[in-house]
Structure 1
Amino acid sequence: MRISLSFEKYLPKRPSPGTIGTKTRVVVNCWDLEVNDKVLCLYDIQPKNLYTVTETGEEKIILRSEKELRKFMSYVFGLMGPDIFSDGGRCLYSITPLDGNKFTIGSPNVFTLPDTEGKNLKLKYIITDVGTISAQPIFEYLRKGSTRTDNIPQDAINMVDNLLRWINKKDYTLIKTSLFERSEELRPEFTIYKGFSISARPQWKLRLNADLTCKAFFPVGNLADILYEIKGDELYNSIRWPGIGEYIKNLEVEASHYTNPDTGKKYSKRFKAHGLSPKSAREQMIEERNISIAAYFQEQYGIKLKYPDLPCVKTKANREEYMPMELLQILPFQPPKADVGPIASEMVRIAAVKPEQRFRKLQSFIRTVIKQSPLVKAMGLKLTSQDPVVADARILPTPNITGSGAPVTRGAWVPTRFRVPAFMEVKYAIVHFVRAFSGLDKAKRDISQAGQQLGLRLVFEEERKTIQIAGLSNYFKQLREKDVKLAICILPKTGPYSDIKRACELEQFLVTQCVKESTLIKSNPWPNILLKINGKLGGVNWELTGIEKHWGKEIVMIVGADVTHPGPVKTNALKKSVAAVVGSISSNYMKYVAVVRQQDYEINEETHTAREHIDDMEGIFEQLLEEFYRKNNTLPSKILFYRDGVSEGQFSIVVKIELTAMQRACTKLRPGYQPGFTFIIVQKRHHIRFLPTGVGLNNVIPGTIIDTDITHNSEFDFYLCSHQGIQGTSKPAHYHIIYDDNNLGANELQLFTFYLCHAYMRCTRSVSYPAPTYYAHLAAFRGRDWMKGAPNPEGLLENNQFKILPEQRDLMFFL
């Protein structure tokens, strides 16, 4: 019984580079970087508290969060001279030991801040000597071909990254790992800033990876003005004030109307919004003074409010203290409060920069990124060339689509007839949830024509106007009794999507297809919609010619997995992670089944990353193997596992937990059953981009692959751009093989991976990563949809697994 990991199989050595495909060269947004092995002093610097000294000599603590205290540390850094730099947090690097006459190491230091908040504030902080640090571990990592990814010298790389950002802080605003330079005024609810991301990467040699980036923030300006732009006249409607108060909750603001009575100097105070007052500034009373807030500010500060009919902002969590919103300025670089959808749309639009334009901007940035300073000189930091890396690449051959009348061209093909229509005839109903749907006749006609073109006969049974959500399950049951196999649900912009999917997939079986009313305005949308419908009903839209013979006589199962984590939600049921694992059940790798489960959402306090491994992988995989056996009357001899969403720091944890669980499932199902496993991490969150060297090309051709030079210097990984970029610059997916006892070669795995990118049944073009990974992502988000608005979320689960109806489990309900 093999329930242990072989050291040799974990992070396997790179086999011989791939040879299949047409050779080419591509420009990569990486630059050769040099740094010396200068040893720096490393300190931990931690602000402790803020205080004033009373007349009796006692320290009066001023309560501030650690985040607020850290903002004051910039004053301390100014004392330390040009030989230091910081990560913006607790790490402080210094070329020379800190001056013992200025600073005390290991015990509290005190710094008197400039006139702040009208008080003589003092900042107490502690500096601890951590030791020394240099870039030497990076050189050793690159020199030793056997060094593994999970031994990457992250502390040394962080040091180089922090230096790169520190020397650019005068010209850019540093936020986490990015440098922002300017904003795009887009919508009242948010502002998008453009900038650059930079990081040192140990590839075959040390490189600087630079890319364009953008991020959305809450608008900056006068709070009253900004809120009026967002909310309009609702801002004067007291019924709306509780909701608006919730909207601005935790927003950081600043008031600057204060004057120090002793010095006469103006100063400002910062607050956090905790809601709005129940009454306007004209009516809200300060009880102990028996005066309205508007009158108080007139009397105390000589300020006559412009907008006395607006509510005030609550500035204390546990006390009724209010500030007129017109006196508050919104501080910059705060998370936006707008819905994710509009922000994502604008981000995509702004980030859609053509490759040539992107690389031109990066080249201009790179010319100034290394700024001369004592730090740069001491560290020997420099780019060996202003030109980016030009890497050897190949363009993999595209698969043929069985039954298609035209070849795959730049990742796309013309749909003809379905390879396997789900049924000879499909009765369907149209259920609309819009107030006045007038497109019934046109929809029926277009559906019939599209079905006829694709070989799926669709017969209209009935129309049903808006029905009560509580009656959905019963209605679906009635349709089933009439032999209706499909309900097409027409929805407004925000409709009961989650209720529909919960009803038909967890309560009363029926295949449903939700379509937004706005989609029907588009020209001929039904052929694309029918791709989903035929797949959900059990059909096969197309096949990749010869893919079932790719592995010879081996019986191979493809598995995809993903975990989706919650956003900022209020409902406890939605504060969970949802994991989904899909497994292939057909030899053409077009059909998959899914298991979806809920698990606890946990954040690692050190790395600030979410726990990524999947709980109960043994039980999940056993179910997938049983389904494979039921469909094929045999078990797979090899398993290829495409795993999404795992960072380098979690490789070993995910392999140890998930792979050993899958091995246990094999031996539990059948003693002695030991299929070979290939565990592939699919990474999309990186900043590597390609620029083709050919004339007249905007983006690289689908199938462009690089498996040398910019990859790990000894492990088995590659970058593959499998899709055609419609707008902007295509992003290749990064594939890192972290376990392999199938001993796969580069050619067979790379080509098969590219082919799987053509097996995504929702569209007739190759996608950016393999279909099973996409399906796992869709299934995980379906789990989140089931939870939304559920009256009894726990009732949807059994042992944390969603109770999907047996009829749906056999189908690709997540399409």
Structure 2
Amino acid sequence: MATPISHDSHQATHLKFDTDAFKITPPQNLPQRPTEFTKLGKETLVQLNSFNVLNYPSRDVWQYDVVIPKPSNMKEEKNMRVFAKKLWNSNTVKEELQESQHHWIFDGNKLAWSTRDLGSREVRVKVDLDDKKNSSKPRKPRADGKNNEHTLFLRRTRKVNFAMLDAFLQQTSDWSPECIDTINFLDHLIREGPSQRLTQIKKSFFQRGETRFDLGGGVEAFKGVFSSLRPVLNDDYKKSLAVNVDVANGTFWRAQELGRSVIQAFNCTQAQFAGRFQDARKDWNKSQFKKDLRRYRHVGVTSTHGQLQQWTIDEFVNMTPDEAKFPDPDDAEKQISLMTYFRKKYGKSLSPALPVVKMTKKIRGGPVYLPLEFLRIDQNQRYSTKLSDQQTSAMIKFAVSVPGVRWKAIDFGVGLLNWANDPYLKHYGLTINRNPSRVKARVLPTPTVAFGPGSREPKIKDSDLVNGRWRLDGRKFALPNQNPIRGWGVCVIQPTRKNDPGVPKDMVAKFFSEFIKIYEGHGGRIMAHPKLGKAPWMGPGALSDGGELVAKAWNATGKHWGVTPSLIFFIVNDRNAEVYRRIKKSMDCRFGVVSQVLQSKQVMSCSGQYISNVCMKVNAKLGGCTTLVTTNTINKFAPHHGNIPTMVVGADVSHPAPGAGSGEAASIAAITVSQDVKFTRYWADVQTNGNRIEMITSNNIENHFTPMIKLWMQRAGNGHPPKRVMYIRDGVSEGQYAAVLEEEVADMKKAFMRAGAHEPPKFTVMIAGKRHHVRFFPQKGDKNGNPLPGTLVEAGVTHPFEFDFYMCSHVAIKGTARPIHYHCILNEGDWSAPEIEQFIFEHAYSYVRSTTPVSMHPAVYYAHLAADRARAHLNENPVSSGKKESKAKEEKKSSTGSTGKRDVNIPPLIKMGTTAIKEVMWYI
């Protein structure tokens, strides 16, 4: 495992590198915040959704270990947490611990805190959950003589050390286990009061009775409030604690009959659902139908056929009510079917064609089967499976709100948390400021963004750069396609729906006539055939041909032109991910030639702006770029900036969406490398990375990063490696920073040595995070109230003394802009803070497929695109992966909970068809 990095006050320097043994020693601490904030650009006032802690607890707080032995009949760890809370909240425990006086806090697992000191002795509390004191419906004595008595063990471990946390904030002490314990306690403290009044999901709370928004498929959404406590450099530029509060958008199962839910989820009638069940029974375990039903696993339901009783779904089983049998309660020697039992016991008829639902609870050691017709889904249960495209679209509409509306929702959420009247905060003495933080931010200066020679306006106006939008009209690409379009084709996929005529031939011809005119107007190169001219081959394609759809279009295009095709367009009728991936798999891997997919409705509208957007993509896929970005600022304070050979590397590991099958699906690692000294074009290589393994494996870095290093040395370095590398890594948590340095950066340095470098370049490593809840509400923003591009925040929500910052480099078209959090974890290249901040901002304007600056550095954005595209290249034959995957699996095996599982062999991706396609931006 990676060793933790210290947070002391010394400046981080370099990774120590032993070229003989290829060993890397990471620095013992992270780079510290510069002594001065950036003075670039213009000052602006920004309100943050951050609320300062004014006072720490003013009395002694004791931490306790809680041990609750698992009942012998309980197998699911998830059920154990529910049981532990039930035991803790029993009246017996409350009375024994004097809860009303001491306001105990329990984390629901193994820790508790209180102002009561129970001494060093172990305290045991026996609880009978069937007793009328602890149960609203006390049970009669059980026939088997067993009782429902359990024992809770409590042992004092330490006093919460607020002094150590304060010493850390004042930089007189390192980050320590005591600091972690204290933050953990305070985070639970601020959640304890709301958790008793609201529905809690991790750090978010949802008010019962809140207005629901139907997402379809038996799923609904409603808004709540998120809160989290963290150490920060506050708005007075002092090291402190603050609570981040934001809107939470939750997805929940709709509380309704289970039978109604499944026909909504499958978008069918009950008869059709029954028919699909019968079809799936032919090969039940491998059926997609069974996989889709797994989304209902662990959903809580109430049976309605008799006395109401709560259950938890285990699975839908391959049995009908006639086939599901269990011992007859009236005659234990006989088996009775569910169908017969319900008819005799309740006088109710069951559908003979529907699947039966198995519950997690057992009776007399045997499984419990219930019919879905008499089950109702309980309220306020989180829906954790990936949303469909339609549900995602509906969720975006529900979640998106402009800054003014979002702030009102945040303010409402703060009122809901009700800190001033929270009995737990009052008891422990924690005070939180009801007024939000306000900080002096900077709006960084824009760069020069230039198009190619011959453009009507070669440079984008400063006003357009500040507004974050410009047009392509009359402008030529900074670099036209290096690979001219020749031998190209258009495959028009025919609609499968009746009464849908598809795109008429004349509309397709008109669209591509306009495409040729507009693309060449932007400087794009299309080679004319002496007899056939420039117009592409056009022909129909049938989805019923499967994978041969692409092959037929490929062959027809090649035959028409008499040359190997260089580009094929595919016109599709809807946003079907499977069709899209089928096309990309064939074009990328089988034929090794770039392709472009178009929506039929866009082809028929034939909008000039849409065509220009397509032209940008096509140009990049054929070796060109849209604009060139030149700094007007950095060389003024870092005169050697442009003279130091520099490579920019981006990386992202994309994990499978949660839900059915995700435990066996591949994670995909994508690495991008800048192709030129202007950082305009990027190579990208991709590969599977085990199952939910976050660190890029050594094999992936050796086999996929090393070739790009060699290519960079040939094309951009004049035979030499770069002097420094800016490595921007997406999506890792603070606990994984050390692993990024020990594993990924170490392997990248080895790759440079293997590629022929005499010594590895100096690495500067930035972590780019977007999974956070920080938002900016500027005093003067754009017309929607969002921050202007280049808005930089260095205080109020940043780390107390490490070098991190939040930046909004884009314009939010809809809703409230989300800044990117950048955290520097290594700075061997000795970049100054303004140099890093300005460099990252300026290159937001160089993204090749848009006429706006983007939210994060393009190197990482491209890695996202490449990782997503690579899902079209998935293979099925299992092989083992690299050492980090094996290491991670060992860690998983040794851990407890749901992560401990069997090994999963993930096959590599199908290789891309040619080397040439990997040298262009094929993923755009």
TM-score range, shorter chain: 0.7 to 0.9
Counterpart code for 1:153: C
Task: Give the CA deviation at 1:369.
Answer: 2.8
Instruction: Assess, with a 3 A threshold, how the Cα gap between structure 1 residues 373 and 807 changes in structure 2: closer, same or farther.
Output: closer
Task: Give the CA deviation at 1:25.
Answer: 0.7
What is the SS of the residue equivalent to 2:43? strand
Task: Give the CA deviation at 1:742.
Answer: 1.8
1:630 corresponds to: 714
1:184 aligns with 2:202: no
Q: Is the 8 A contact 1:566 1:574 kept in 2?
A: no
Q: Is the 8 A contact 1:644 1:773 kept in 2?
A: yes
2:88 corresponds to: 76
Which of 192, 197, 210 lines up with 2:226 in the alignment?
A: 197
1:130 corresponds to: 157
Q: Is the 8 A contact 2:384 2:658 kept in 1?
A: no
Q: Is the 8 A contact 2:313 2:357 kept in 1?
A: no
Q: Which moved more, 1:315-324 or 1:706-715?
A: 315-324
1:779 aligns with 2:828: no
2:732 corresponds to: 646
1:558 corresponds to: 648
1:325 corresponds to: 372
Q: Which moved more, 1:211-220 or 1:420-429?
A: 420-429
Instruction: Assess, with a 3 A threshold, how the Cα gap between structure 1 residues 47 and 433 changes in structure 2: closer, same or farther.
Output: farther
2:538 corresponds to: 463
1:506 corresponds to: 589
What is the SS of the residue equivalent to 1:323? strand
Instruction: Assess, with a 3 A threshold, how the Cα gap between structure 1 residues 574 and 283 changes in structure 2: closer, same or farther.
Output: closer
2:611 corresponds to: 526
What is the SS of the residue equivalent to 1:48? coil
Which of 708, 713, 722 lines up with 2:809 in the alignment?
A: 722
Task: Give the CA deviation at 1:668.
Answer: 3.3
Structure 2 counterparts to residues 426-437 of structure 1, below 5 A: 426-435=486-495, 436-437=502-503
* Cα deviation digits, residues 682-733 of structure 1 (max 9, x gap): 1111111000112765101111001234322322111110010111110110
Counterpart code for 2:275: I
Counterpart code for 1:761: V
Counterpart code for 2:160: I
Counterpart code for 1:378: H
Q: Is the 8 A contact 2:386 2:658 kept in 1?
A: no
1:268 aligns with 2:355: no
* Cα deviation digits, residues 474-523 of structure 1 (max 9, x gap): 75366455253110012233253223222222232211112233443554
1:105 aligns with 2:123: yes
Distance 2:304 2:588 in 1: 59
Distance 1:401 1:535 in 2: 17
1:607 corresponds to: none
Percent of paired sites with the same residue: 23
Q: Is the 8 A contact 2:775 2:819 kept in 1?
A: yes
Distance 1:151 1:802 in 2: 45
Instruction: Assess, with a 3 A threshold, how the Cα gap between structure 1 residues 43 and 444 changes in structure 2: closer, same or farther.
Output: same
Which of 46, 56, 60 lines up with 1:39 in the alignment?
A: 60
What is the SS of the residue equivalent to 2:798? coil
Distance 1:297 1:573 in 2: 37
Instruction: Assess, with a 3 A threshold, how the Cα gap between structure 1 residues 232 and 310 changes in structure 2: closer, same or farther.
Output: farther
Distance 1:121 1:685 in 2: 43
Distance 2:249 2:662 in 1: 31
Structure 2 counterparts to residues 228-267 of structure 1, below 5 A: 228-231=263-266, 234-237=269-272, 238-241=274-277, 242=280, 246-249=291-294, 250-256=297-303, 266=307
Q: Is the 8 A contact 1:35 1:381 kept in 2?
A: yes
Structure 2 counterparts to residues 333-732 of structure 1, below 5 A: 333-335=381-383, 339-367=387-415, 368-370=417-419, 372=421, 375-383=424-432, 385-403=433-451, 405=457, 406-407=460-461, 408-415=465-472, 416-422=475-481, 423=483, 425-435=485-495, 436-438=502-504, 439-458=507-526, 459-466=534-541, 468-471=545-548, 472=550, 476=554, 479=557, 482-493=563-574, 494=576, 495-520=578-603, 523-524=607-608, 525-546=610-631, 551-568=641-658, 575-602=665-692, 611-616=694-699, 617-632=701-716, 633=718, 634-670=720-756, 672-694=758-780, 698-732=785-819
Task: Give the CA deviation at 1:321.
Answer: 5.0
* Cα deviation digits, residues 299-347 of structure 1 (max 9, x gap): 31x3535867755433479977532223212134143556442333233
* Cα deviation digits, residues 90-126 of structure 1 (max 9, x gap): 22212213599xx963797665452478766334444
Give the TM-score taking structure 1 as reference length.
0.88
Task: Give the CA deviation at 1:779.
Answer: 1.4
2:888 corresponds to: none
Instruction: Assess, with a 3 A threshold, how the Cα gap between structure 1 residues 474 and 510 changes in structure 2: closer, same or farther.
Output: farther
Distance 2:694 2:484 in 1: 46
Distance 2:425 2:29 in 1: 41
Q: Which moved more, 1:73-82 or 1:192-201?
A: 73-82
* Cα deviation digits, residues 198-229 of structure 1 (max 9, x gap): 01111122111100011212222221233344
Task: Give the CA deviation at 1:127.
Answer: 3.3
Counterpart code for 1:532: K
Which of 337, 341, 344 lines up with 1:296 in the alignment?
A: 341
Task: Give the CA deviation at 1:463.
Answer: 1.7
* Unpaired segments ≥5 residues, structure 2: 1-15, 19-23, 234-239, 281-287, 329-333, 496-501, 527-533, 636-640, 883-905
Task: Give the CA deviation at 1:447.
Answer: 1.8
Root-mean-square deviation (CA, aligned residues, Å) is 3.4
Distance 2:118 2:178 in 1: 29
Task: Give the CA deviation at 1:734.
Answer: 0.8
Higher fraction of strand? 1
Counterpart code for 2:922: F
1:212 aligns with 2:230: no
Q: Is the 8 A contact 1:277 1:284 kept in 2?
A: no
Q: Is the 8 A contact 2:52 2:437 kept in 1?
A: yes
Task: Give the CA deviation at 1:195.
Answer: 0.7
Distance 1:720 1:689 in 2: 10
* Cα deviation digits, residues 751-771 of structure 1 (max 9, x gap): 110011111112111111000
1:754 corresponds to: 841
1:171 corresponds to: 197
Distance 2:369 2:696 in 1: 46
Counterpart code for 2:191: R
Counterpart code for 1:26: V
Counterpart code for 1:504: M
